[in-house]
């Protein structure tokens, strides 16, 4: 029997030969459990193990096998360089396990370790949790952050947090076993792995992973529920035939980065669907989302999921740091109690580091990261995201990233990096000033051939060239 708290769809539910398809290869639940059982036997008793998380049935079997055995899985990006891989393996103490999907074995999971009564909420709670003799704290997954402020940290993701999150999302998105989920996202992040694989295995929806998230692959998949990141949706919106093929879907979901307003509008025009946007982090899983039954608007990520409580701290001009509590939060950073404690406020709220605003109806809007996307210029607080959306409204601008740069008089000035053709910096400055407040206009515009992005398509502002 599969892991009871999480993999409910694998427990004797309806099976089919193509219950999941990954990069053109299909499997039934029975075959998946057999392959996962072989992995579970191989890793049983290990403190943790790692897997090269390619878009493959082998990766799915490895993760399910870890859940069966109660052994934390450390997914490695398949394109991770030697230094990054060495750091993650050394930091986690995990060894890479190879998987042969043709192997089959039965495996009876041990009784799960009782979960803590509630998620950690403060440094004192961290101290209590540190009394657990295992550094992994009943984690199902150890997902490594991008390392923007130092070496990547291992985020301990409990199975109870995953179950709570997937159930809340199933309710919010009306996600059932009748759906066919389609996506082509990497299987080493929350979006592609937790939502895009474990979500299907919990709800019982058929899964089609396209291998690569091309517009043509999405159009051919015939799904009812689609997951994508803004880069994927931008490419779909530029392929009119592929976009119109998605008109028969039930729901398009975008995440991992803000969806530009022009892409939202283009998708709506071509598919008839207003995309659902949602917000989350590796440390929190998905905590805020628009609903399948409800209004959606560009730039808004919806309202908190059941059990999630949010607040805006140090609010000024209606925006401030987003902080939260709830059952989907992580169990800490592996081997870094000080970093775990520092991620919470003294009164027990998780500090997301993201700047947000909440509308009167409770709808949340994410302005950006506190470190890079809140610009303080001439006494004004400016969200980089709204300036980026204004720039992307220009017909000749394909990509835009906005940051604050030191300025002797203003404190910071608004600087825009854009990918565009046939337009001048002055024209773009005037274009923004005509749509937003004048003080939000870029004072410097830098033209690039492309923006640096990570595997999820999110712009990496720390990699932008200096002025």
pLDDT in tens, 389-423: 889 999 999 999 999 988 877 888 999 999 999 99
Range in 8-12, 192-196, 408-412 the model is least confident about: 8-12
Provide mean pLDDT across the span 326-354: 95
Distance between CA atoms of residues 35 and 177, nearest Å: 22
Range in 57-66, 216-225, 387-396 the model is least confident about: 387-396
Distance between CA atoms of residues 56 and 37, nearest Å: 17
State the average pLDDT for the chain: 89
Three-class DSSP category at 271:
helix
Question: Which is more confidently placed, 52 or 8?
Answer: 52
Per-residue pLDDT tens digits for 203-217: 999 999 999 999 999
| pLDDT the model gives residue 122 | 41
Per-residue pLDDT tens digits for 119-177: 444 443 344 444 456 788 789 999 998 654 567 899 999 999 999 999 999 999 999 99
| pLDDT the model gives residue 324 | 97
Helices (H), 305-437: 337-342, 384-392, 425-435
| pLDDT the model gives residue 123 | 40
Q: Residue ranges of the domains in the chain? A: 374-463
Q: Tell me if 250 sits within 8 A of 225, measured CB to CB.
A: yes
Question: Which is more confidently placed, 179 or 389?
Answer: 179
Q: Tell me if 325 sits within 8 A of 132, measured CB to CB.
A: no
What are the CA-CA distances from residue 377 to residues 176, 257, 367, 403, 408 (Å)?
47, 24, 15, 11, 11
Question: Which is more confidently placed, 375 or 413?
Answer: 413
Indicate if the pLDDT at residue 350 is higher than 80.
yes
Provide mean pLDDT across the span 281-295: 95
Distance between CA atoms of residues 196 and 33, nearest Å: 18
Q: Tell me if 144 sits within 8 A of 156, measured CB to CB.
A: no
Question: Which is more confidently placed, 32 or 15?
Answer: 32
Q: Tell me if 412 sits within 8 A of 380, measured CB to CB.
A: no
Provide mean pLDDT across the span 363-383: 79
Indicate if the pLDDT at residue 51 is higher than 70.
yes
Helices (H), 44-148: 57-69, 82-92, 123-129
Range in 88-92, 100-104, 109-113 the model is least confident about: 109-113
| pLDDT the model gives residue 109 | 67
Percentage of the chain surpassing pLDDT 90? Answer: 68
Structure tokens at 213: 């998230």
What are the CA-CA distances from residue 161 to residues 64, 125, 285, 301, 310 (Å)?
16, 17, 8, 20, 17
| pLDDT the model gives residue 389 | 86
pTM, to two decimals:
0.82
| pLDDT the model gives residue 1 | 39
| pLDDT the model gives residue 125 | 39
Look up the CATH superfamily of 374-463.
Answer: ANL, C-terminal domain (3.30.300.30)
- With bands split at pLDDT 50, 70 and 90, how would you rate the model's confidence at 340? very high
- With bands split at pLDDT 50, 70 and 90, how would you rate the model's confidence at 91? very high
């Amino acid at each position: 029997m599969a892991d009871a708290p999480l993999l409910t769809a694998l427990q004797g539910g309806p099976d089919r030969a193509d219950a999941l398809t990954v990069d053109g290869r299909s499997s039934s639940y029975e075959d998946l459990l057999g392959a996962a059982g072989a992995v579970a036997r191989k890793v049983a008793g290990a403190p943790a193990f790692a897997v090269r998380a390619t878009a493959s049935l082998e990766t799915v079997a490895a993760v399910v096998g870890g859940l069966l055995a109660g052994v934390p899985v450390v997914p490695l990006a398949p394109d991770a360089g030697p230094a990054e891989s060495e750091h993650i393996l050394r930091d986690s103490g995990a060894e890479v396990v190879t998987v042969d999907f043709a192997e089959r074995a039965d495996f009876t999971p041990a009784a799960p370790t009782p979960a803590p009564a509630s998620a950690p909420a403060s440094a004192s709670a961290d101290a209590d949790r540190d009394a657990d003799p295992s550094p992994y704290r009943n984690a199902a997954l150890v997902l490594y952050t991008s390392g923007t402020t130092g070496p990547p940290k291992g985020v301990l993701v409990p199975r109870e947090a995953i179950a709570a999150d997937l159930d809340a999302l199933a309710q919010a998105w009306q996600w059932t076993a009748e759906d066919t989920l389609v996506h082509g996202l990497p299987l080493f992040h929350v979006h592609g792995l937790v939502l895009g694989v474990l979500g299907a295995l919990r709800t019982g929806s058929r899964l089609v992973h396209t291998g690569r998230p091309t517009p043509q692959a999405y159009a051919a998949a015939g799904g009812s529920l689609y997951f994508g990141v803004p880069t994927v949706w931008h490419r779909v919106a530029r392929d009119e035939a592929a976009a119109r093929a998605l008109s028969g879907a039930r729901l398009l979901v975008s995440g991992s980065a803000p969806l530009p307003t022009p892409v939202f509008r283009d998708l709506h025009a071509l598919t008839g669907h207003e995309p659902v946007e949602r917000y989350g982090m590796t440390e929190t899983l998905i905590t805020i989302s628009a609903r399948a039954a409800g209004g959606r608007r560009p730039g808004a990520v919806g309202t908190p999921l059941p059990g999630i409580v949010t607040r805006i701290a140090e609010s000024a001009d209606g925006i401030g740091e987003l902080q939260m509590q709830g059952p989907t939060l992580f169990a800490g950073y592996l081997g870094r109690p000080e970093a775990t404690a520092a991620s919470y406020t003294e009164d027990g709220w998780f500090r997301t580091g993201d700047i947000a605003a909440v509308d009167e109806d409770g709808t949340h809007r994410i302005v950006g990261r506190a470190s890079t996307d809140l610009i303080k210029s001439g006494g004004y607080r400016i969200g980089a995201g709204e300036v980026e959306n204004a720039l992307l409204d220009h017909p000749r601008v394909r990509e835009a990233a906005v940051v604050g740069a030191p300025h002797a008089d203003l404190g910071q000035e608004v600087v825009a990096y854009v990918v565009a053709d046939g337009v001048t910096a002055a024209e773009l400055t005037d274009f923004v000033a005509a749509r937003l407040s004048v003080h939000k206009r870029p004072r410097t515009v830098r033209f690039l051939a492309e923006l640096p992005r990570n595997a999820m398509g999110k712009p990496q502002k720390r990699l932008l060239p200096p002025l």
